[in-house]
Amino acid sequence: METVEITCPDQVFLDKLDRELKIEPKDWMPEPYRQTLIRQISQHAHSEIVGMLPEGNWITRAPSLKRKAILLAKVQDEAGHGLYLYAAAETLGISREKMYQQLHNGKAKYSSIFNYPTLSWADIGAIGWLVDGAAIMNQVPLCRNSYGPYARAMVRICKEESFHQRQGFEILLTLSRGTPQQRAMAQDAVNRWWWPSMMMFGPPDASSPHTQQSMRWKIKRFTNDELRQKFVDICAEQATILGFSLPDPLLKWNATTGHFDFGPINWDEFNQVINGNGPCNKERLDARRKAWDDGEWVREAAEAHAAKQKTKAAAA
Ligand SMILES: [Fe+2]
Ligand SMILES: [Fe+2]
């Protein structure tokens, strides 16, 4: 008797992952994989869009026309990142309206870093260097994640993030060669952004419930602690080039491990900010809700236009 091999869809899915093939929108995928991706990609999209707010705050106050043009381009890039990512999430079966709704009603999270204020021009440098630097560290491995639309969006995003990081570094380098006041302003910005940037990699591996599953699904390629360590190693050296110190008395090269040791992270602060109690949470959500309400007429006009086009096409 001939035997017919029956392959269950789950097996096909896992086999694709093992062979480093991409999962595409029309492929079968386990529901928890789909839900994890929707959560992660939409949070990522929200972070890009909310991330425009602290920096947008400095566009009108940038110190020169050149600085203004660069910052404007960067903030526009972030809007583009948000749009690619919302589009990638939509391929998983969630609508953009639903994602916005989840952001506006506080159900969806976004990166806690954007709930801190930008107090001086040097903050724009510190954000580019540290925040975009941490984003690159997190996002480069995502270019190889198993979900096709997400991975492809990340390739372009990462190219732009690297420009963001360099423009931030260059702002700080310029300030580091400036007056004592400019140096002090830049050091103050680095001091304020260092720890929140360290928190961008998420909780320590021991208390990160999704890490193992996400690694098996090849959504995640490195753990939070691995990425954080890479970030510390790079920043500790770059800080020396800039001539600024990082606000961590325990930061020290460890010849045995080949890495920099660093001090404890204040996870209580992280949890407070994640749960809505950071310095700017309310302001950020209010700004996003206002943008949605103010855009009502645009959505209405677009719908009316689409309906007109449809009628015209039907009549032709
Ligand atoms: Fe971005
Ligand atoms: Fe960026």
How many angstroms does the Cα of residue 142 sit away from the middle of ligand 2? 15
Query: Is residue 34 in a domain?
Result: yes
Question: Residue 57 sits in which domain range?
Answer: 9-315
β partners of residue 260: 253
CATH no. for residue 147? 1.20.1260.10
How many angstroms does the Cα of residue 14 sit away from the middle of ligand 2? 33
pLDDT at 9: 84
Query: Is residue 3 in a domain?
Result: no
How many angstroms does the Cα of residue 78 sit away from the middle of ligand 1? 4
* Residues of the chain with confidence (pLDDT) below 50: none
Q: Which ligand is nearest to the CA of 55?
A: 2
How many angstroms does the Cα of residue 308 sit away from the middle of ligand 2? 38
Query: Is residue 2 in a domain?
Result: no
Q: Closest Cα partner for 224 from 239, 246, 207, 238?
A: 207
Q: How far apart are CA 131 and CA 104, in angstroms?
A: 23
pLDDT at 254: 98
How many angstroms does the Cα of residue 160 sit away from the middle of ligand 2? 7
User: Are 81 and 160 spatial neighbours (Cβ–Cβ below 8 Å)?
Assistant: yes
- Max CA-CA distance within the chain? 87
Cα–Cα distances in angstroms (integers) from residue 297 to residues 165, 300, 303, 309, in the given order: 36, 5, 10, 18
pLDDT at 134: 97
Q: How far apart are CA 117 and CA 280, in angstroms?
A: 6
Residue type, 183: R
Query: Is residue 72 in a domain?
Result: yes
How many angstroms does the Cα of residue 9 sit away from the middle of ligand 1? 35
How many angstroms does the Cα of residue 167 sit away from the middle of ligand 1? 13
Query: Is residue 242 in a domain?
Result: yes
Q: Which ligand is nearest to the CA of 73?
A: 2
From the CA atom positions of the chain, what is the Rg in Å? Answer: 22
For the chain, what is the domain count?
Answer: 1
Query: Is residue 4 in a domain?
Result: no
Residues in the chain: 316
Query: Is residue 1 in a domain?
Result: no
pLDDT at 1: 56
How many angstroms does the Cα of residue 164 sit away from the middle of ligand 1? 8
pLDDT at 208: 84
pLDDT at 4: 61
pLDDT at 5: 63
* pTM greater than the 0.85 cutoff: yes
Q: Closest Cα partner for 164 from 76, 64, 65?
A: 76
Q: Is 256 helix (H, G, I), strand (E, B) or coil?
A: coil
Residue type, 80: G
Cβ-based neighbour number of residue 263 at 10 Å: 14
